[in-house]
Amino acid sequence: NENWSLSPEEFEIWDRLYRIKESDGVKEPILPQIQFETLENLEEISKHDEKATRELSLSEWRIWQNRAFPTSMVDHSDRCYHFISVMEMIEVMRHEQGDCSYELEIQPHLRIEDVNVPGNKSHLSMTNST
Amino acid sequence: GCLGSFQRLKAAVHYTVGCLCQEVAEDKDVQFSKQTVAAISEITFRQCGTEGCFLILCRHAKRSTVTTEDVKLLARRSNSLLKYITQKSEEIVSSNMEQKEKK
């Protein structure tokens, strides 16, 4: 087969073994689309029939994600390790009440010349109130 | 030392994230727990680290100085974000031009 598309034989195999049909009782998997809460959305949002599709979730198994998952041929990237570290940090903070260990650890290092203090309106009090 | 300056940077990011979250909280009438603010600030801090791929983009174009084009490439996966960043970039360019003309 020299074409980009499937040959009749390949199509037959795909149709028989892999193609999701209504009678299969499984929903067609789809990926979530990018959306920005704080920006005007230019992305085309295609509406899916919720009964026939299942949006793949990137957060459903979050409690598994504070450790590196096994790899096959591709190593974890730096970005991936950053993600794992933050998930672990969140796990550690999950049961904190009120005071935040991260804040207590980091706040003594703050130098006010490093930050923009916009008119100083009520922002300083924020870090002190629960 | 290096750890000290990391902590100092983290503290500055944490403070600023706190201010921004406060604005969002007022705007959307929600509350952020301190732990949420801490997590957002740690993510922001680490995100800056991964943006070190800037340098890779530069080298790709055989340059050693990061330009606005490299910044735009970081936003390439979302049309909305790319449009926003491109507009900002044009604003900066035109205000720089005005400044030069004044001189």
**How far apart, in whole angstroms, are the C-alpha atoms of residue A125 and residue B36?**
17
When comparing pLDDT for A127 and A68, which is higher?
A: A68
For B86-103, what is each residue's pLDDT tens digit? 999 999 989 888 888 876
Contact check, Cβ <8 Å, B8/A116: no
Whole-number pLDDT of residue A14: 96
Whole-number pLDDT of residue A122: 46
Confidence of residue A125 (pLDDT cuts 50, 70, 90): very low
pLDDT of residue B10: 92
State the pLDDT at residue A123: 43
- Which residues in B lie closer than 8 A to residue A79 (C-beta atoms)? 50
Contact check, Cβ <8 Å, A103/B34: yes
* List of chain B residues whose C-beta atoms are within 8 Å of the C-beta of residue A110: 8, 11-12, 14-15
pTM of the model: 0.82
Distance CA A26, CA A74 (A): 30
> Mean pLDDT, to the nearest integer, of B56-82?
79
CB–CB of B18 and A127 under 8 A?
A: yes
- B79 by Cβ neighbours in 10 Å (0-12 / 13-18 / 19+) ranks as middle
- Cross-chain residue pair B80–A100, CB shorter than 8 Å: no
E runs forming strands in chain A: 28-30, 53-55
* ipTM for the assembly: 0.82
Give pLDDT tens digits for A52-111: 889 999 999 999 999 999 999 999 998 899 999 999 999 999 989 889 999 999 999 999
Cβ A102 vs Cβ B35: under 8 Å: yes
Are the C-beta atoms of B14 and B44 separated by less than 8 Å? no
* Residue B92 · residue B68 · CB < 8 Å: yes
What's residue B16's pLDDT?
A: 95
Please give the pLDDT value at position B54: 56
Q: What is the per-residue pLDDT across A3-53, written as a single tens digit (0 to 9) for each?
A: 899 999 999 999 999 999 888 888 899 998 888 888 887 777 777 777 788
Q: Which of B22, B92, B27 is nearest to A37 (CA)?
A: B27
